[in-house]
Amino acid sequence: MSEAENNNDKPVPRTFMEELGFDLPEEAFSFYIDGSDIVFNLQIVEEVGCDFRFYEQQEKFPLTDEQIEKLKDAGYYSKEGFLIL
């Protein structure tokens, strides 16, 4: 099993991310670490006439040293990414 599959087996509680100071939108479903930044993946749904349009959007934020340490301590510091519950 790859590291990414292992990461998906242990999703991160939304409350953990909120305790780090992130006010996550409901659309946020996963994240990964890119250097000293965190990148959240969001699934956006738009109604266009009688149809729906689905797409992914990314939001990137710098991490503080304290946030990095908390992510590392919890085992959530990885470029492979994690699902968010």
Q: Give domain limits for the chain.
A: 3-83
The three-state secondary structure class of 75 is coil
Question: Distance between CA atoms of 7 and 21, rounded to whole angstroms?
Answer: 22
Nearest to 30 by CA among 85, 80, 82, 74: 82
Per-residue pLDDT tens digits for 27-68: 999 999 999 999 999 999 999 899 999 999 999 999 999 999
The answer to whether residue 6 scores a pLDDT higher than 90 is: no
